[in-house]
């Protein structure tokens, strides 16, 4: 009964909060007419590597300091994606992943290589501080084993050759090839095979072997990045170089770094990504043709925006990645990730049925240092410039003096709207990058907090309601940015932290991102 009531409330909710014209706005790449529109996913899924195993495509992306992390998506048609797994539940390799007087913002898991070989899936990645890691699994949906390697390989490209040898391509500016043993340990010295000569920052290399050539599929990165292919008859070179795509304007400006994929019908495609504003770095699907054994992406040197879908032999239904959550299930949805490792004893989906309970974990002075901050990507719209609206219902009965709980937009800078308990009284507060902007006393335990965020221009506004009907803006406008000090797209966060003593808790009844999961 409780679940049905929540659905009923959700339907009523859609008709009464602001920006009603967002209802039904396009939130997925599939246009429903045999075409798709880039970005492939309008959210932060950077550094993609993609493989096909039989009739399923798998994509891994970078999540850095968010866990469960190393997000894997799967698709039947390269256009409609769904969550498959988060391969690394937590990183147990140092105190910084637990926010113990240090952090891993802009660090952590980086640019993963995805391979399938002899019935097993592999993920190879580097962290800038701890080094290299290899993950393996029989099923990508199942448990992944993670093993720390003796050394790391920057932006690795794992490769299983036909003769049983294993290699990794890696490096920045100068690309290196290293042979590995069966435990993914270097057998000898790195061999320099190519020094970037078209721009700074040659990186992000993946290896393919086709038509007798070894291809190093690499990128000159950054907002003005572009994709190149290097080829040689020998894994150690010498290598020739050719530009695969260099788009300098429009929605595919700087499209780079990703994977080559062949469909079941023989078509070739590439999934790269673009730096697409404060919401993050977003994947882009581009057609590939072969000219003189060179891959050429896009059409007439430009990335496609709207184009026919790949031919995979049949049609598949449209899917949109979930974002809203009623917190009725005993497990969090795969769209959620914690800012650094959570303390699993301080949150629950069962202590208060139908709610996410967040207990305070430790005394801190700001949101950046708070553990058990629950995050997810902000999704944008394809067919409107209206903001993405996120709203949550929170019960504050069990807060302690000094506790702060609420809804944030997190990057650098960050801001939030929340409830703070001070001297036994509760206040709606808005804080912009650590500076208190506004405070409004309230006398109810249940409040509704809302964020309206736009990617272009990057803006966020904050408001609250006591009845989920009339919302009042609080504080000032946050200018949201994509800053390398954090290095992920802006996240929406649910949080509860203590500034005086631990022991308090709050219950989030639901979280709803407008335009998604409308039922």
> What's residue 199's pLDDT?
96
Topology match between the domains 44-308 and 337-513: no
> What's residue 4's pLDDT?
39
439: its two tokens:
């405070």
Q: Has 203 been annotated as catalytic?
A: yes
Q: Has 47 been annotated as catalytic?
A: yes
> What's residue 383's pLDDT?
76
Q: Which of 49, 130, 203, 326 is catalytic?
A: 203
Low-confidence ranges of the chain (pLDDT < 70): 1-24, 515-519
Contact 424, 435 (CB under 8 A): no
CA distance 304 to 415: 35
> What's residue 16's pLDDT?
27
85-88 long-range contacts (CB < 8 A, ≥24 apart) are: 85/140, 85/141, 85/142, 85/144, 85/334, 86/334, 86/337, 87/60, 87/123, 87/135, 87/137, 87/140, 87/144, 87/146, 88/135, 88/144, 88/146
140-143 long-range contacts (CB < 8 A, ≥24 apart) are: 140/58, 140/72, 140/74, 140/84, 140/85, 140/87, 141/84, 141/85, 142/85
- CATH superfamily, with its number, for domain 44-308: Glycosyl hydrolase domain; family 43 (2.115.10.20)
- Parse the chain into domains and list their residue ranges: 44-308, 337-513
> What's residue 27's pLDDT?
85
> C-alpha angle with apex 27: 22 to 29, nearest 5 degrees?
145
> What's residue 21's pLDDT?
33
Its CATH class, for the domain covering 337-513, is mainly beta
pTM comes to: 0.93
Q: Which of 30, 47, 77, 325 is catalytic?
A: 47
């Amino acid at each position: 009964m409780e679940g049905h009531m929540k659905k009923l409330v959700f339907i009523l909710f859609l008709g009464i909060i602001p920006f009603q014209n967002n209802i039904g706005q396009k939130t997925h790449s599939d246009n429903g007419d045999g075409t798709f529109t880039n970005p492939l996913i309008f959210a932060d899924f950077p550094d993609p590597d993609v493989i096909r195993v039989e009739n399923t495509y798998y994509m891994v992306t970078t999540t850095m300091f968010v866990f469960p992390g190393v997000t894997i998506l799967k698709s039947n048609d390269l256009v409609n994606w769904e969550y498959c797994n988060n391969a690394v539940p937590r990183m147990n390799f140092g105190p910084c992943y637990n926010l113990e007087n240090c952090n891993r913002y802009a660090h952590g898991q980086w640019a993963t290589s995805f391979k399938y070989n002899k019935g097993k899936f592999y993920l190879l990645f580097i962290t800038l501080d701890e080094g290299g890691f290899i993950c393996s699994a029989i099923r990508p949906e199942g448990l992944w084993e993670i093993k720390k390697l003796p050394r790391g390989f920057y932006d690795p490209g794992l490769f299983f050759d036909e003769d049983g040898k294993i290699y990794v391509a890696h490096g920045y500016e100068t690309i290196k090839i290293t042979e590995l043993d069966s435990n993914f340990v270097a057998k000898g010295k790195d061999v320099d095979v190519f020094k970037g000569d078209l721009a700074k920052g040659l990186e992000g290399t993946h290896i393919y072997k086709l038509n007798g050539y070894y291809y190093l599929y690499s990128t000159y990165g950054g907002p003005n990045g572009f994709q190149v292919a290097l080829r040689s008859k020998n894994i150690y070179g010498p290598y020739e170089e050719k530009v695969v795509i260099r788009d300098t304007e429009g929605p595919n400006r700087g499209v780079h770094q990703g994977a080559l994929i062949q469909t079941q019908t023989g078509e070739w495609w590439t999934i790269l990504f673009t730096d697409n504003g404060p919401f993050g770095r977003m994947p882009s699907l581009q057609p590939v043709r072969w000219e003189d054994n060179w891959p050429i992406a896009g059409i007439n040197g430009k990335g496609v925006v709207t184009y026919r879908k790949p031919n995979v032999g049949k049609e598949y239904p449209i899917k949109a990645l979930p974002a809203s959550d009623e917190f009725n299930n005993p497990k969090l949805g795969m769209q959620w990730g914690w800012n650094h490792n959570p303390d699993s004893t301080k949150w629950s989906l069962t202590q208060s049925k139908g709610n996410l309970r967040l207990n305070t974990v430790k005394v801190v002075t700001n949101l950046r240092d708070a553990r058990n901050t629950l995050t997810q990507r902000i999704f944008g719209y394809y067919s409107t410039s209206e903001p993405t609206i996120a709203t949550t219902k929170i019960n504050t009965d069990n807060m302690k003096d000094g506790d702060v709980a609420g809804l944030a937009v997190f990057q650098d800078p960050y801001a939030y709207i929340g409830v703070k308990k001070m001297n036994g009284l509760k206040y709606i507060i808005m804080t912009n990058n650590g500076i208190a902007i506004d405070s409004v006393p309230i006398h109810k335990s249940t409040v509704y907090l809302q964020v309206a965020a736009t990617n272009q221009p990057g803006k966020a506004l904050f408001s609250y309601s006591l009845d989920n009907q009339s919302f009042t803006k609080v504080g000032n406008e946050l200018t949201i940015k994509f800053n390398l000090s954090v290095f992920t797209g802006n996240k929406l966060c649910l949080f509860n932290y203590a500034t005086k003593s631990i022991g308090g808790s709050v219950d989030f009844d639901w979280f709803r991102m407008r335009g998604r999961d409308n039922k």
